[in-house]
Structure 1
Amino acid sequence: MRETKTQRIGEIFRHLYYSAPISCTSLSMKLGKSQPHTMARINELQRGGYIVETGHAPSTGGRKPQMYSLRPDLFYILSVALDQFVARIALLDLQNNFVVAPEKYELKLLNNSDALSELAEIIKEYIAAGGVEKEQIAGIGIGMPGFVEVNKGINYSISENRSVAGYISSTTGLPVYIENDSSSIALAEMKFGMARNVQNAMVLNIGWGVGLGLVVDGRLFRGSKGFAGEFSHIPLFENNKLCNCGKSGCLETESSLCVIVEKAIEGLSNGRLSSINPADLDREDLEKSFETIRAAAAKGDKFSVDLFSSAGYEIGRGLSILIHLLNPDLVVLSGRGSLAGRIWLPPIQQALNDHCIPRLFENTEIRLSQLGYDAELIGAAALVMERCEHLRLNPHVNYSH
């Protein structure tokens, strides 16, 4: 089937977005086209105002190659990152800079019949207050927990028969693309983070649950319906603790950030010594409570360190199962929990030492995300660029080429 002009431009856009600044030589290799052909496309897009020159690469013996990037303000992307309790929204340019600082809104996502309408109102409110005309926004990318079927735009954990993408698009007038939060984070790590240029990787989303995004043969792996990566619900324990999925003994019942907060509250009430003031922990404010525990652990509070060590070891036990099955090159610790930093690494490594066949994991690296808590926002923005053939382009730029 012959490639259309829109598809050709979309492919170039994606490479510039993910790899900029990039030379004509490198771009031609990615496109599988000759350098003269690629240079002609670059010149055409420069005349149209799509791309800009961004200096020269270091010389490798000859003339320094000219580097190119997408024009950062060509258009903007509205990025939405959801967890079970909070919606974070940001406006990004085409170099992943926050044009408008991320805003946080309380939103109970699950078991809330009004969640979709509330989310739509929050997004419209953000757009109205953002200082950028809606016509300059190419689209909306949304990362959210739940059973997300990407092609239909449905999150079955919210609604069985209503498309989240369709509903938000109809209320905002913008194209909308949704993805499971852990897969969105994996996309960010694969394109901009620690998993860049890695063929096989597992990206952990350590949060109120423990999600997983999979990179297999250099591509995001979603499974047959898009539900792959429900790492939280691997049955590991005979602990008689009910998980929010309705089963008992799931990984997240001993390892999520919710569990860390709960164990901290219980431990302090039972007299555990800690620098944490019990009044600073609140089951109704998990975000503040987690940050209190994280900060205490960073200062060496033994009780807090023990909480992370216990959760990390159980995460490592779960990882050992996946490593036996998938034999990845890399495991990335990402999501909100990655803000706790290197404290996760020793207990996870110890669990792998205890439970993995050495030959299976001796070449598997464990790395902390450098994208941190922004990973999901960056990944959600990338959802829009993944569909750049359908972009809503800035009308103030001349595209008549």
Structure 2
Amino acid sequence: MESKTRIVKSAELKNSIIKRLYFDKALSCADLSEVLEKSVPSVSKAISELIEEGFLMEQGYAPSSGGRRPLMYCLQPSAMYIVTVAMDQLSTRIQMVDLHNQPIAETVMTELKLFHNPNALTLLIDYINDYIDASGVPRDKIVGIGIGMPGFIDSAKGFNYTYLDSDGQSLTELIAEKTGAPVYIANDSSLIAIAEQKFGVAKNHNDVMVINLGWGIGLGMIVNGELYRGHSGFAGEFSHIPLFDDGALCTCGKRGCLEAEASMLVVAEKAIQGIKDGHISSLKHTDKDPYKVVGNAIMEAANNGDQFAIELLSDAGYKIGKALAILIHIMNPESIVLSGRGAIVGKILLAPIQQALTKYCIPRLAKSTELLISELGFNAELIGTAVLIMENFDKDNKNQSIINKQLSMEKTSKN
């Protein structure tokens, strides 16, 4: 029993080291000792064992600061892999990355409509299994499957109360059972916020609002350096702020929501109608084109100078800016990041957003909030799902890879 306790504690330290190096890229033994609040000898011993087990490698010496240069350590990228799944209302992307967040297989995008689709969950599981099989990566090398999805998500219990009906069973447990790997789920906008804070333009920002510009308009909130989920875990329903009297009917059943007036789906609908009404534009459209094709075409056309596309996006940007004024008054954030699919037209949206802020926001508050455009863009959700896995790497007993390996080695050595 004493031997097992020692091994478990040693493995917990190793898990903490792996997690820290995932986020910080490279650290010295002294750095790890300080941030983990463990003794240098215990950390040094754990590092040596992790190198021997193939999880860590030496990266070289840190730049000289006048004294002896410390040896830096980083993760062995091929030690484990993460399956990242990014879902929206219309499609699903799947990617596999190494511990340096580098893709090891091509990203696959598949149409998967969530609304009124009773087969969506079964299809999702099939897509994930097919992707893993095609990758050739053994399942015991997959540290976890992270899934970002729209809807009201209870990450702790594993439920999506909007989509993917699981007949009362936890989605995380069900998908893990069918795929053979630990599974974590979270709201797509929350994951985009985490990605921006850990690896994006909001890196190390403590109070940041991240706007997910997709087919809907989501919000992820970082408050005091932590993701804010709210009392029931549903904080951030930015798209359903009622801003417009007698506005269009929203999918939530109410009228005047921001999403019903300014989302990319709405912009696509307006573009289709505008073309039918004779607006001059480089946009081409047939009745067979799905909204996501039209939405992507609008963003491309706008970046190429198409005036009709720019007008549509500017109108949406002004409405988003009006909603952001409310957000700034309530949260007083350090920064607001425009992220997600729509970040590609972020520069076009900035001017009308700023115009709305000038009109609706108290100048002192608006001046203290920086508007930023994501560099991660459409990849932010995929990166966020990888972060979700590694955030839980040292917290959950689902992850037993290092513990099991050490117990096995101990048993072998005794025999």
**Per the shorter chain, which TM-score range?**
over 0.9
Displacement of 1:37: 4.3
TM-score for both structures, normalised by structure 2: 0.91
Which residue of 2 is the match for residue 71 of structure 1? 76
Structure 2: runs of 5 or more not aligned: 1-5, 411-415
Distance 1:18 1:120, change over 3 A: same
Using the alignment, how far apart are the partners of 1:346 and 1:188 within structure 2? 25
Match of 2:106, SS state, is strand
**Aligned partner of 2:279: which letter?**
R
Displacement of 1:21: 1.9
Is 1:274 aligned to residue 272 of structure 2? no
Displacement of 1:114: 1.5
Assess if the C-alpha contact under 8 Å between 2:15 and 2:402 holds in 1: no
Match of 1:87, SS state, is strand
- Tell me the alpha carbon deviations over residues 300-346 of structure 1, each in whole angstroms, 9 at most, x when there is no partner: 11111111111111111111111111111111111111122311111
Using the alignment, how far apart are the partners of 1:194 and 1:283 within structure 2? 38
Q: Among 173, 182, 192, which residue is 1:175 paired with?
A: 182
Match of 1:229, SS state, is coil
- Tell me the alpha carbon deviations over residues 151-210 of structure 1, each in whole angstroms, 9 at most, x when there is no partner: 101101123723211111111121110001011111111111122111111111100100
Is 1:285 aligned to residue 290 of structure 2? yes
Is 1:209 aligned to residue 196 of structure 2? no
Displacement of 1:224: 1.7
Q: Among 136, 142, 145, which residue is 2:147 paired with?
A: 142
Which residue of 1 is the match for residue 401 of structure 2? 393
Assess if the C-alpha contact under 8 Å between 1:261 and 1:283 holds in 2: no
Q: Among 334, 344, 350, which residue is 1:345 paired with?
A: 350
- Tell me the alpha carbon deviations over residues 239-274 of structure 1, each in whole angstroms, 9 at most, x when there is no partner: 331101111110011111001111111112112221
Is 1:123 aligned to residue 128 of structure 2? yes
Assess if the C-alpha contact under 8 Å between 1:79 and 1:140 holds in 2: yes
- The equivalences for 1:225-244 within 5 A come to 225-244=232-251
Which residue of 2 is the match for residue 52 of structure 1? 57
Distance 1:369 1:289, change over 3 A: same
Using the alignment, how far apart are the partners of 1:380 and 1:50 within structure 2? 21
Q: Among 378, 395, 399, which residue is 2:383 paired with?
A: 378
Using the alignment, how far apart are the partners of 1:11 and 1:224 within structure 2? 28
Assess if the C-alpha contact under 8 Å between 1:13 and 1:70 holds in 2: yes
- Tell me the alpha carbon deviations over residues 354-373 of structure 1, each in whole angstroms, 9 at most, x when there is no partner: 11111112121111111111
TM superposition outliers: structure 1 runs of 4+ over 6 Å: 394-399
Assess if the C-alpha contact under 8 Å between 1:331 and 1:365 holds in 2: yes
Calculate the aligned-residue CA RMSD, in Å. Answer: 2.2
**Aligned partner of 1:142: which letter?**
I
Assess if the C-alpha contact under 8 Å between 1:75 and 1:393 holds in 2: no
Q: Among 253, 257, 271, which residue is 2:260 paired with?
A: 253
Equivalent pairs: percent with the same residue? 48
Using the alignment, how far apart are the partners of 2:148 and 2:39 within structure 1? 37
Displacement of 1:6: 3.7
Using the alignment, how far apart are the partners of 2:351 and 2:37 within structure 1? 43
Which residue of 1 is the match for residue 66 of structure 2? 61
Displacement of 1:131: 2.0
Using the alignment, how far apart are the partners of 1:76 and 1:362 within structure 2? 43
Assess if the C-alpha contact under 8 Å between 1:138 and 1:392 holds in 2: no
Structure 1 residues 387-396 or 161-170, which shifts more? 387-396
Displacement of 1:283: 7.1
Using the alignment, how far apart are the partners of 1:93 and 1:278 within structure 2? 39
Structure 1 residues 348-357 or 8-17, which shifts more? 8-17
Q: Among 164, 170, 174, which residue is 1:163 paired with?
A: 170
Distance 1:228 1:284, change over 3 A: farther
Which residue of 1 is the match for residue 323 of structure 2? 318
Match of 1:98, SS state, is coil
User: Higher relative contact order at CA 8 Å, sep ≥6: structure 1 or structure 2?
Assistant: 1
Using the alignment, how far apart are the partners of 1:216 and 1:240 within structure 2? 31
Using the alignment, how far apart are the partners of 1:176 and 1:113 within structure 2? 21
Using the alignment, how far apart are the partners of 1:99 and 1:396 within structure 2? 26
Using the alignment, how far apart are the partners of 1:9 and 1:349 within structure 2? 47
Distance 1:111 1:71, change over 3 A: same
Task: Kindly tell me the number of residue pairs found equivalent between the two proteins.
Answer: 398
Which residue of 1 is the match for residue 413 of structure 2? none
Assess if the C-alpha contact under 8 Å between 1:49 and 1:397 holds in 2: no
Using the alignment, how far apart are the partners of 1:338 and 1:302 within structure 2? 19
Displacement of 1:36: 4.5
Distance 1:272 1:239, change over 3 A: farther
Displacement of 1:56: 2.6
- Tell me the alpha carbon deviations over residues 13-32 of structure 1, each in whole angstroms, 9 at most, x when there is no partner: 22100111223343333223
Distance 1:325 1:145, change over 3 A: same
Which residue of 1 is the match for residue 3 of structure 2? none
Distance 1:371 1:347, change over 3 A: same
Highest CA radius of gyration, 1 or 2? Answer: 2
**Aligned partner of 2:221: which letter?**
L
Using the alignment, how far apart are the partners of 1:77 and 1:65 within structure 2? 30
Which residue of 2 is the match for residue 106 of structure 1? 111
Assess if the C-alpha contact under 8 Å between 1:199 and 1:215 holds in 2: yes
Displacement of 1:63: 2.8
TM-score for both structures, normalised by structure 1: 0.94
**Aligned partner of 2:157: which letter?**
K
Assess if the C-alpha contact under 8 Å between 1:296 and 1:304 holds in 2: yes
Using the alignment, how far apart are the partners of 1:78 and 1:395 within structure 2? 21
Match of 2:222, SS state, is strand
